[in-house]
Structure 1
Amino acid sequence: MKTIRLTTAQALVRFLNQQYVEFDRKQEKFVKGIFTIFGHGNVVGLGQALEENPGDLEVYKGCNEQGMTQAAVAFAKQKHRKQICACTSSVGPGAANMVTAAATASANNIPVLLLPGDTFATRQPDPVLQQIEQYHDLSITTNDALRAVSKYWDRINRPEQLMSAMINAMRVLTDPANTGAVTIALPQDVQGEAYDFPEYFFRKRIHKIERRPASQEAIDDAVELIKGKKKPIIICGGGVRYSEAAEALKDFAERFNIPFGETQAGKSAVEWNHSLNLGGIGVTGNLAANLIAKDADLVIGVGTRFTDFTTASKGLFQNPDVDFLTINVSEFHAYKLDAVKVVADAKVALNNIKESLEKTGYISAYTNEIKDVKEKWEKELERLVNIQYKEKGFKPEIAGHLDEVLDEFYKDTGSCLTQTRVLGELNKLIDDNSIVVGAAGSLPGDLQRIWCPKKPNTYHMEYGYSCMGYEVAGALGVKLALPDREVYAMVGDGSYLMLHSELVTSVQEGKKINIVLFDNSSFGCINNLQMGNGMGSFGTELRYRNEKTGKLDGKLMHIDFAKSAEGYGVKTYTVKNIEELIQAVEDSKKQTVSTLIDIKILPKTMTNGYESWWHVGVAEVSQNEKIQNAYENKEINLEKARKY
């Protein structure tokens, strides 16, 4: 047996260079590159290996471990999970910083490979810098925190363990049903330790992502269920995009006249103006999709995890005879809602069911209902995107001290911009093939309702974990995946303050991204949630501490985000009216460096719920009558919800 003497880190780099995936007979390299923040736990081990011979791996220097890992998650998501980036950090704080991003990956079933440094396997220098000592178990390190958020976790205590660990890592990373974050912890002494690795460990490996077929029994069950139903609805989930099943879903819907709603992950799989596309569904859904869903007697979930936002906390589907059919490559997700299950690739399953269902002559019983609800929503959408402050029709209907906070913000900033109108204008201004990125706050709801993607796969929303701070880093990841496209991060001031460090990375790498910052001086979404459930405005607005009351209820704070970002070398704009918005967007298109458009947005001018309910833990006991009423309302809605 021929061997090659390499350090563990050198062997790891060589192995990663030889991994390929094949999907629908198309091969490509699986690992595009590696994000790094070097510290004492990885710089002279894995860092040395990358400096000496990185192979084809592109090495990116991150600015924050969470940020660079979120960028890697976004990269893989935009690549439909067919290509990834790895991420390496030092031991201790660096590894801990990756926990949040690892959770983002695993919650969304997006592959990302984490390679954190670790303390010494020999334990001889213990306690080393940044090491946590647990008196009851000396084997525990910071990296153990990653166990809870990883789909596969391992620690390489001897060089030869690398081989079985990396084969298992690739197994999980390329598994459509169970992918997510994979953590391979690398003790810093083992990284530099040499071993005679067998040559065959470094041969080219092709990991075939196969389309799991549907069993005939499952197809028969699905056909039997559908043909007995009059008004089904399809829910288009992220699995439709990852399976590249959009055309199959359209053909299925058109053949049987079945409308479909979109989850955040499924949005833009099919163009927004398709006659059967109802748009976003659930808590952040629109009027059209939610009205049809309420009366549907069959819900066909395709590649969806049926989260509480998609199902409106299982309260959306009100037809007493409603049944569920799931098409999902994951058996775990297929079992939800006590559904009839088709555990298979979305494209394969839809085509197989269509072929069998056609033989029955089935057509849904919809007549004008789909057209009618779409017209209702289009009328409401027209109102939302044209709404102006203090003009006729201005009625956001958002909870809490509306006039007070609007007047204060308008007086302080001079801005008259509503969030929904700005989104309507942006939808017209940016190029059709540009990609919008979002994650948290009120923007995901507004985007799922208002945004009209004109090209497939141009809507990139992380909402499985709804991770504040994903937006800027995610935009960088998308730009690395599709460098010829314009990418726009739609981000609130709260999320931007939480994490925007990879904006600097974008400048360093020469990868232009556009940050569209909606500054309303608050965590507006959560402010609405608390006030809509009877509370006051408590700790969710960006206010100075009041010297008289001692509380955070003083004047609103106003930050010049444009001035701050300008110091990074970013081209910036400040926007307070529609004319300035148009000028900023058009000028930003001419730039070659990253841009930031600081838009001062009137608080509480986002959209509200449409025929939906979200189950949150309202206080059962309170002396506040509004909270008592909110609790009673929660109990009424809970009684209507399905109990699975």
Structure 2
Amino acid sequence: MTGPGTVRLTVAQATVRFLAAQWSERDGERQRLFAGAFGIFGHGNVAGIGQALLQQELAAGGHPELPYVLARNEQAMVHSAVAYARQKDRLQTWACTASIGPGSTNMLTGAALATVNRIPVLLLPSDTFATRVSAPVLQELETTYGGDVTVNDAFRPLSRHFDRVVRPEQLPSALLSAMRVLTDPVESGAVTLALPQDVQAEAHDWPVELFTERTWHVARPPAERARIDEAAEIVRTARRPMIVAGGGVHYSRAEAALAQLVDATGIPVGESQAGKGSLPHGHPQQLGAVGSTGTTAANAIAARADVVIGVGTRYADFTTASRTVFQDEGVRFVNLNIADFDAAKHAGLTVVGDAREALTELTAALDGYVVDPAYRQEQASLWQEWDEQVERAYHPSDEVTDALAPGLLTQGEVIGVINEHSDPRDVVLCAAGSMPGDLHKLWRVRDRKGYHVEYGYSCMGYEVPAALGIRLSDESRDVFAMVGDGGYLMMPTELVTAVQERVKVIVVLVQNHGFHSIGSLSESLGSQRFGTQYRFRTDDGRLDGDHLPVDLAANARSLGAHVIEVHSRKELEDAVAEAKAAPPDGGPVVIHVETDPLVYAPDSKAWWDVPVSQVSELDSTRDAYVEYAEHKASQRGYLRPTDSKDPGGGV
């Protein structure tokens, strides 16, 4: 019997009602924390979360506060949620529900991707019976060392927060803890609440206060004034300072604050993958990508930088070119980051605080400081040289195009056509293969949210489901998902979801008959592109026969997408125009284009540390190891003291 001030609901019904009442707020801007719930139902959640979502949909007349979207792959729906949350600057996300066993563990890759990239997403994997009355049930893991272990324990190391609700009384505290982590800009990542199938269906009397609207404030913690002053003192000693802009610039919406700092000082900016677009293309201090996939301009400046100011970056190996890009003997690091974990990297001066607030304070503290005019001129000259290389990649010479097989384009040319024929606010999207590196170097960003490359986890198959998530987040922007044939084959399933929801996404499917990026890497490491091409097995047992007759355009068409096959630059330009003119509720458009995997984009010759076999019978591998050892010799420890008054000698 329901008592005064209580309402009787199942655990699943209470969860759905609670999630629908959660809001986030920052800078006075308030929005629902959950845009909806992705789900695939099976035993474990069909009678729990599934029934609860149905009940609220019927009660709302088809327009519930927590809308449900049927996904086709559990990993993919997490990718969609992550892309949505990233596009919303981590202020909104989705919940994802799956059945017990393989349905839930399919979300593990998505959980890892969310946590690596510090993006909030709520996972609701179904679990086996808490009562164990029917154990072992279908798809239950049995272990000899623990009766309470289930497959969902695999989420523990992949989640920023994990809980298992085995009694209804535990739900309120579990939900509140989950919301705290999801809205914490430092702790953000995958949050997993495992829900046993019998508990989901169990009724309980809940206090009505649990379901009142609750607003979670997303903080902008200021940096300590003393740390800002010390950072400014270090920068003032610099002759060749450089900023590395990371994803924190975007999540903090600190682009204007960054521009104000560099306009005042002339300090140049290199960008990580997540930070690309921190300054728009054409800004005088914008040097583009830095690191392994960097521009010649950014990496030339980085090589001689004496002070590196990292803003919202976690200094991944691609950003530092495996700790070889910053080569000045006395280089020091000043790290502005909301997470002290990242701020402390490379023994840098740790300035912990919100990126926008810290940049604003640092600009004031640097009043009157400007770099030497000759340094500004060097930046401009290096950028002009690089931009000319980009132009040649966008518009290859007749000599290059005449050498291509009929109907083939270069990957740089494809990127150029999409860049030049899309709108400034459109979003380019990618995650894995050679395309992210080429986009990092070549794409000209014209809007702060116009570049979306997932390179923390670099997950093949992210592109199509992520395109769905981005488009759901903002229907005013077209989304161009750039995906190779390898990535497409991993996860094309959410094309069907886009058809179902009438969501327009534009997928540029680049066919090069294999793994372009790993093929190139394999060759550079002396492994001769082994196992990286889609070919028939020949009589001698090797996979080096003719290309497979796989028709990916037909595959996409069979999934309900509108497909445009192109065989020339002009056809590609026309296809982009046709795709953009398609109705916003017309579903997915796939542009199929073939490229030559042996024509590369311009390179800055930066390195990435991938070990080479130390002994080998192959000449190619032995030669590669000699080159590898040379690069290893240039790796740095970055352990110089940070005291601005200490000239230091390093460690």
TM-score interval, normalised by the smaller of the two chains = over 0.9
Q: Are 1:153 and 1:182, in contact at CA under 8 Å, matched by a contact in 2?
A: yes
Which residue among 159, 162, 165 is the counterpart of 2:168? 159
Q: Are 2:518 and 2:529, in contact at CA under 8 Å, matched by a contact in 1?
A: no
Query: 1:595, CA displacement in angstroms?
Result: 0.5
Query: 1:363, CA displacement in angstroms?
Result: 3.6
For residue 133 of structure 1, give the secondary structure of its aligned residue in structure 2. coil
Structure-2 residue corresponding to 1:403: none
Please give the alpha-carbon distance, in whole angstroms, between the structure 1 residues aligned to 2:231 and 2:372.
15
1:635 aligns with 2:615: no
1:150 aligns with 2:159: yes
Partner deviation per Cα, 1:401-450 (whole Å, 9 max, x = no partner): xxxxx97xx3xxx3231111111111111122111111000000111111
Query: 1:362, CA displacement in angstroms?
Result: 4.6
Q: Are 2:419 and 2:443, in contact at CA under 8 Å, matched by a contact in 1?
A: yes
Structure-1 residue corresponding to 2:447: 455
Partner deviation per Cα, 1:66-99 (whole Å, 9 max, x = no partner): 1111000100010010001010000011111100
Please give the alpha-carbon distance, in whole angstroms, between the structure 2 residues aligned to 1:7 and 1:447.
48
Structure-1 residue corresponding to 2:516: 524
Q: How does 1:437-452 map to 2 (within 5 A)?
A: 437-452=429-444
For residue 557 of structure 1, give the secondary structure of its aligned residue in structure 2. coil
Structure-2 residue corresponding to 1:586: 577
Alignment coverage as a number of residue pairs: 625
Q: Are 1:328 and 1:343, in contact at CA under 8 Å, matched by a contact in 2?
A: yes
Which residue among 489, 492, 512 is the counterpart of 2:481? 489
Which residue among 287, 292, 295 is the counterpart of 1:283? 292
Which residue among 113, 119, 143 is the counterpart of 2:128? 119
Which residue among 562, 569, 573 is the counterpart of 1:571? 562
1:312 aligns with 2:304: no
Structure-1 residue corresponding to 2:60: none
Please give the alpha-carbon distance, in whole angstroms, between the structure 1 residues aligned to 2:48 and 2:493.
25
Partner deviation per Cα, 1:552-577 (whole Å, 9 max, x = no partner): 11111242222111122211011121
Structure-1 residue corresponding to 2:259: 250
TM-score by length of 2: 0.94
Query: 1:236, CA displacement in angstroms?
Result: 1.0
Q: Give the letter aligned to residue 541 of structure 2.
A: G
Which residue among 538, 542, 545 is the counterpart of 1:554? 545
Query: 1:580, CA displacement in angstroms?
Result: 1.4
Partner deviation per Cα, 1:256-309 (whole Å, 9 max, x = no partner): 110101111111232111111001111111111111111111111100010000
For residue 305 of structure 1, give the secondary structure of its aligned residue in structure 2. coil
For residue 130 of structure 2, give the secondary structure of its aligned residue in structure 1. coil
Q: Give the letter aligned to residue 51 of structure 1.
A: L
1:90 aligns with 2:93: no
For residue 205 of structure 2, give the secondary structure of its aligned residue in structure 1. strand
Q: Are 1:272 and 1:453, in contact at CA under 8 Å, matched by a contact in 2?
A: yes
1:295 aligns with 2:270: no
For residue 640 of structure 1, give the secondary structure of its aligned residue in structure 2. coil
Q: Are 2:501 and 2:587, in contact at CA under 8 Å, matched by a contact in 1?
A: no
Change in Cα spacing, 1:196 to 1:556, as seen in structure 2 (3 Å) is: same
Which residue among 404, 412, 417 is the counterpart of 1:420? 412
Structure-1 residue corresponding to 2:6: 3
Q: Give the letter aligned to residue 440 of structure 1.
A: A
Q: Are 1:439 and 1:461, in contact at CA under 8 Å, matched by a contact in 2?
A: yes
Q: Are 1:283 and 1:609, in contact at CA under 8 Å, matched by a contact in 2?
A: no
Partner deviation per Cα, 1:2-50 (whole Å, 9 max, x = no partner): 2222111111111111111110011111111000100011000111111
Q: How does 1:45-84 map to 2 (within 5 A)?
A: 45-54=48-57, 55-84=64-93
Larger CA deviation: 520-529 vs 596-605: 596-605
Q: Give the letter aligned to residue 3 of structure 1.
A: T
Structure-1 residue corresponding to 2:362: 353
Larger CA deviation: 26-35 vs 51-60: 51-60
Partner deviation per Cα, 1:304-339 (whole Å, 9 max, x = no partner): 010000000010001111111100000100010100
Q: Report % sequence identity.
A: 44
Please give the alpha-carbon distance, in whole angstroms, between the structure 2 residues aligned to 1:147 and 1:180.
12
Query: 1:551, CA displacement in angstroms?
Result: 1.4
| Structure 1 residue ranges (4+ consecutive) displaced by more than 3 angstroms after TM superposition | 360-365
Query: 1:608, CA displacement in angstroms?
Result: 5.3
Change in Cα spacing, 1:513 to 1:482, as seen in structure 2 (3 Å) is: same
For residue 417 of structure 1, give the secondary structure of its aligned residue in structure 2. coil
Please give the alpha-carbon distance, in whole angstroms, between the structure 2 residues aligned to 1:621 and 1:5.
69
Q: How does 1:379-390 map to 2 (within 5 A)?
A: 379-387=388-396
Please give the alpha-carbon distance, in whole angstroms, between the structure 1 residues aligned to 2:271 and 2:387.
16
Please give the alpha-carbon distance, in whole angstroms, between the structure 1 residues aligned to 2:561 and 2:400.
38
Which residue among 385, 392, 406 is the counterpart of 2:399? 392
Structure-2 residue corresponding to 1:259: 268
1:610 aligns with 2:604: yes
Q: Give the letter aligned to residue 460 of structure 2.
A: M
Please give the alpha-carbon distance, in whole angstroms, between the structure 2 residues aligned to 1:72 and 1:606.
33
Query: 1:593, CA displacement in angstroms?
Result: 2.6
Change in Cα spacing, 1:245 to 1:364, as seen in structure 2 (3 Å) is: farther
1:340 aligns with 2:349: yes
Which residue among 503, 519, 529 is the counterpart of 1:537? 529
For residue 633 of structure 2, give the secondary structure of its aligned residue in structure 1. helix
Which residue among 500, 508, 527 is the counterpart of 1:508? 500
Please give the alpha-carbon distance, in whole angstroms, between the structure 1 residues aligned to 2:401 and 2:326.
31
Query: 1:353, CA displacement in angstroms?
Result: 1.1
1:626 aligns with 2:620: yes
Which residue among 375, 380, 405 is the counterpart of 1:371? 380
Please give the alpha-carbon distance, in whole angstroms, between the structure 2 residues aligned to 1:608 and 1:425.
17
Query: 1:364, CA displacement in angstroms?
Result: 4.8
TM-score by length of 1: 0.95
